[in-house]
Amino acid sequence: MKVLISNTSDIPLYQQIKDQIKDAILTGDLAEGDSLPSIRNFANDLKVSVLTVRRVYDELEEEGFITSRAGIGTFVSAGNLELLRDSKRRLVEQKMQDMIQTAKSLNISKEELNEMMDILYEED
Amino acid sequence: MLLHLIKKDILLVKNNVLFMMFAIIAIPFFIAWRLPEAGSFRSPLAFIYMVVMGVLMICMFVSTAEAKYPKAASLLCALPYSRTTFVMAKYVLFLLIFAYCFIVHTLVSLILSEIAPLSPTVVLASLLGITIIYGIYMPCEFKFGYEKTKFVFMLSIFTLSFGTPLISNLMKRTNIDFSALSAIPAAIQWLVLAAATIMILFISVMASIKIYSGKEL
Amino acid sequence: MSNILEVSGLNKSYQNFSLTDVSFTLPEDCITGFIGINGAGKTTTLRTILGLAQKTSGTIKIFGKDIEDNERELKDRIGVVMDEGYFYNELSLAEMKSIIAPAYTKWSERDYKDYMERFSLNPRQEISTLSKGLRMKFALTLALSHRADLLIMDEPTSGLDPLVRSQLLAIMADYMKPGGKGVFFSTHITSDLDKTADMLILINNGKILFEQEKDDLLYNYRLVKGDVKYLSDENKKLFLNIKTTDFGFTGVTKRISEVQKSIPGILIEKSSIEDIMLGYIEGGQK
């Protein structure tokens, strides 16, 4: 799992970490049942405060992405598949938004965009 | 707990304590040799001298060392040592020195014929005497600090070193009649002396504890 | 998650200085930095918590228990590292240890020996011959050798070279690993805290100015540099403090979006703990 955080970004540290963990879960990098590092170790490695990591874990647990069992550890949970699927959809939508915005600023038409999409989709 | 704080005091003065222990042993010999005219006063005199010098000197050394490192006492009180134990240790040390003097004197009296063994009255009276001095001094040191009170030590040691021979001569000459006091049954004498000692000790300890508990370290 | 240390409404007066209504809490598993300039009240606060100075009012709870009622039991669980000068310097390390170790019920001779070796300390050496760094390491050894759950340290890093400082910070991180512990240390060297602290508490003139999570603090504030000519009485208020030179101004602000709107052409940078601390202190003096 890759978690790279920027100290100079406008996004709060905990948000960055949370988003990246969510991404990892959504892209399958982190599978159901995988364990997450302990709060202290994670904080040390990322060079952030334990309170930040604690908040990330608390919020991810509330949102159904992970579960923690006292004495054992923190694990990725199946939780809300719907939620995950929704989030995945939203991820794609977000990227499409970015793509559309860039296209518009470069004066690429919807037809051209669709053409490009067809070509690239077949490529993979 | 208490023992460790007493050990602390002894560690602080370890260089001097050995010297003092020998000095205490030497005193009765010295008195026997230099003051033969003291007669029957020799024995109690030697004892009083041993006790006073022993207690004063050792306590002075300890207080000087503590005063050099005032913050060390702070550290110790930040530990689970209670301030009460800290105070008690000083008093127990004082009693231990007294006990040591008594043992030494008794042993010396077995060797030297000029020094007679001590009667309980003398022992208790000396204890009372030194308790009064120490009992007044300690709370003062706790309250005002060593710097302001150390002159007491200086004064006492000075007076005793030079004054004792004078006092002993004075007593011989004045022939004070102690017969009235001697008429009181021995047991009652001991009881009164012991009770007075305990009471003064108690008041002094309580006062010291109260003062030290409220002190800024 | 419980709180390791809770101070509420602490008041203490001296002739020229007072602690006024000092309140803060240390959560479990956190390294908390207590910052402030010299004379701000850090040492006084620590001494009051440890019962060395008498408070006028307020409560101090450690592990949920009032320190006045459970003094010995609580002090048994606290490791204390004070600035130098708290030893009997004429004694050897072993002798000093022989006075300190028996006070604690959970003293570990093994931990003590391990640390002595790790720091290359010779027990027979006299304390006065040790350098400041070694004396601090010895104090740390004693504090860490009785299974303490809370470490209270007063300016442990002042006067130490960067290498020793980083060693100390690494040891603190190690200490926290098993969990359930806390570290509370006062310092005016805030650069140490940039890396290791979880919580920060700023004190100035005997009053607490803030108590915040370090990451939040560093995220919320920015250091802004810009052209003096765009400063007005209005937008100056957006900053904690402002310094001006012939070449521009520098200021610390929490309201970065407003600043961005009202002042053009600014440089925005992350601020350090020191910038924020000075911002609060100098700003407060206006």
Whichever domain contains A20, its CATH number is 1.10.10.10
* Physical contact, C and A (3 or more Cβ pairs within 8 A): yes
Give the pLDDT score at B207: 95
A62 shares its domain with A117: no
C4 at the A interface (CB within 8 A)?
no
Give the pLDDT score at C114: 94
Domain residue ranges in chain C: 3-217, 222-270
C270 at the A interface (CB within 8 A)?
yes
Q: Which domain holds residue A88?
A: 81-123
Q: Where are the alpha helices (DSSP H) in chain C?
A: 42-49, 71-75, 93-100, 109-118, 132-144, 162-176, 190-196, 214-220, 233-236, 256-262, 273-284
Give the pLDDT score at C141: 94
Evaluate whether residue A5 is within a structural domain.
Answer: no
Whether the pLDDT of residue A102 is over 80: the answer is yes
Give the pLDDT score at C263: 87
Q: Which residues of C128-159 are buried (b: 16+ CB within 10 A; e: fewer)?
A: eebeebbbbbbbbbbbbbbebbbbbbbbbbbb
pLDDT in tens, A27-50: 778 888 888 888 888 888 888 888
Whether the pLDDT of residue A79 is over 70: the answer is no
Contact C270 A7 (CB under 8 A): yes
Evaluate whether residue A3 is within a structural domain.
Answer: no
With CA atoms as reference, the chain C residue closest to B65 would be: C88
Supply the DSSP symbol for C92. Answer: B
With CA atoms as reference, the chain C residue closest to B216 would be: C53
Residue C10 pLDDT class (50, 70, 90 cuts): very high
Residues of chain B with pLDDT under 50: none
Give the pLDDT score at B36: 66
CA pair distance C51, C67, nearest whole angstrom: 8
Which of A109-113, B81-85, B108-112, C148-152 has the weakest average pLDDT? B108-112
**Among A12, A14, A50, whose Cβ lies nearest the Cβ of C30?**
A50
Contact C30 A52 (CB under 8 A): no
Q: For chain A, what is the domain count?
A: 2
Closest Cα in chain C, distance from residue A29 (Å)? 27
Give the pLDDT score at C159: 82
* Physical contact, B and A (3 or more Cβ pairs within 8 A): no
A32 shares its domain with A59: yes
pLDDT in tens, C185-211: 999 888 888 888 999 999 999 999 999
Give the pLDDT score at A90: 84
pLDDT in tens, C216-263: 998 889 999 998 888 888 888 888 888 888 888 999 998 888 888 888
**Looking at the predicted complex, does its ipTM rise above 0.90?**
no
A20 shares its domain with A72: yes
Give the pLDDT score at C229: 86
pTM confidence score? 0.83
Average pLDDT, chain C: 90
Whether the pLDDT of residue A81 is over 60: the answer is no
CATH superfamily to which C3-217 belongs: P-loop containing nucleotide triphosphate hydrolases (3.40.50.300)
Residue type, B137: Y
Whether the pLDDT of residue C286 is over 60: the answer is no
Residue C35 pLDDT class (50, 70, 90 cuts): very high
CA pair distance C121, C140, nearest whole angstrom: 12
A70 shares its domain with A18: yes
Closest Cα in chain C, distance from residue B182 (Å)? 48
